[in-house]
Amino acid sequence: MAQNEKGFPWKHVFGFLLSIILTLLAVWITFSTDLPTNTIITLIVVLAFCQAFIQLLLFMHMKEGESGSWQATMIYYGIYIAIVIVAGSIWVMSLGHQHHY
Amino acid sequence: MSEIAPKQSNLPLEYSTKQNQLNILGFWIFLGAELALFATLFATYLVLVSRTAGGPGPEELYELKTVLIETFLLLTSSFTCGLAVYEMRRGKQAGMIGWLIVTILLGIGFLYFEIEEFILYAVHEGATMQTSAFLSSFFALVGTHGLHVTIGIFWILIIILQVLKRGLNADTARKVFISSLYWHFLDVVWIFLFTLVYLTGMVS
């Protein structure tokens, strides 16, 4: 799968342009649409995950090498832990499960 | 320790020894742990973001222009860092070092705007780490990322010097590759800072 590189780095240029487009799209959704706040946040978080995978797959070659599947597993597990920590904290602390003193 | 594994002869230089492959796998495990570290800081920030204690809130502090400049500097540096590894895999040492230097300069540019942003908040708007729970968690989260970028700049700089001294071999190629993984990872974290801290802070 991973050959030594030749020619023009199309993959990198493609990933870079896609990152810029996704960033500007997130800004446009945030400031120039009349969508409800929750919808905006959901959309831009989805866009952020898309951008993260551009970095992981096109720039970092996550699945490359003998242990590529292990590398990917580590990152997927890290993402799982991150989502549990972040979403779990918001759920417990901010969504009406606490006493309001 | 450095025997060449013949099976992977089609893999790039940085994978050419068993030790190198283990080092790269180990670094991915470290990045998984870094994800958990940043997740705790994100969780703290997102829980405390509304606790401004009478001090300035996100919508008064954040400025889209500054944040976009920082975003594009870091995004471009991640791209040039990818090009450096690309050049390395073509065996072009000079091209690799050139792109790594561009990466470092863009990283310094990012840090310049971030430090300016911090000074603006702390000195001119009276928004310091002590002001409120929101600002404590903000500076802890964004500052930890900025500290990582600072470490990354010095790390890549030292590796450039080592490549200049020793040339590209299995050892130095692995070091360049692993530091590039670190640099791309910092951009991944910034994407979420940009989205979950800055954009959501300005939407409401």
Q: How far, CA to CA in Å, does B25 sit from each of A72, A84, B14, B97, B141? A: 10, 24, 12, 24, 27
Topology classification of domain B12-203 = Four Helix Bundle (Hemerythrin (Met), subunit A) (1.20.120)
**Helix H segments across B5-132?**
18-48, 58-61, 64-89, 93-119
Q: Has residue B5 got a pLDDT over 90?
A: no
pLDDT of residue A66: 84
In this prediction, residue B75 has a pLDDT band, given cuts at 50, 70 and 90, of very high
**B150 near A CB under 8 A:** no
**B35 near A CB under 8 A:** yes
Q: Are residues A72 and A25 in the same domain?
A: no
User: B195, A77: Cβ pair inside 8 Å?
Assistant: no
Tell me if residue B4 falls in helix, strand or coil: strand
Q: Has residue B11 got a pLDDT over 90?
A: no
**pLDDT tens per residue across span A56-70:** 999 998 888 888 899
- The Cα A32–Cα A47 span in angstroms is 16
Mean pLDDT, range B152-168, rounded to an integer: 96
Q: Are residues A36 and A70 in the same domain?
A: no
Q: Has residue B3 got a pLDDT over 50?
A: no
A4 DSSP 8-state letter: P
Q: Has residue A98 got a pLDDT over 70?
A: no
Residues 82-101 of A with CB under 8 A from B: 82-83, 85-86, 88-90, 93-94
pLDDT of residue A93: 87
User: B46, A66: Cβ pair inside 8 Å?
Assistant: no
Place of tokens 């487009």: A21
Find which of B35, B90, B196 to mutate to test the A interface (most A CBs within 10 Å of its CB).
B35
In this prediction, residue B175 has a pLDDT band, given cuts at 50, 70 and 90, of very high
Q: Are residues A39 and A17 in the same domain?
A: yes
**pLDDT tens per residue across span A4-49:** 677 788 899 999 999 999 999 999 999 999 899 899 999 999 999 9
**B101 near A CB under 8 A:** no
pLDDT of residue B1: 43
pLDDT of residue A2: 44
Q: How many domains does chain A have?
A: 2
pLDDT of residue A8: 85
Question: Taking the domains of chain B in order of start, what are their residue ranges?
Answer: 12-203
Among the residue ranges A5-9, A87-91, B156-160, the one predicted with the least confidence is A5-9
**B192 near A CB under 8 A:** yes
In this prediction, residue B171 has a pLDDT band, given cuts at 50, 70 and 90, of very high
**Which residues form the domain of A87?**
65-101
**Closest chain B residue to the Cα of A32, Cα to Cα:** B203
**pLDDT tens per residue across span B105-141:** 999 999 999 999 999 999 988 899 999 999 999 999 9
Q: Are residues A50 and A69 in the same domain?
A: no
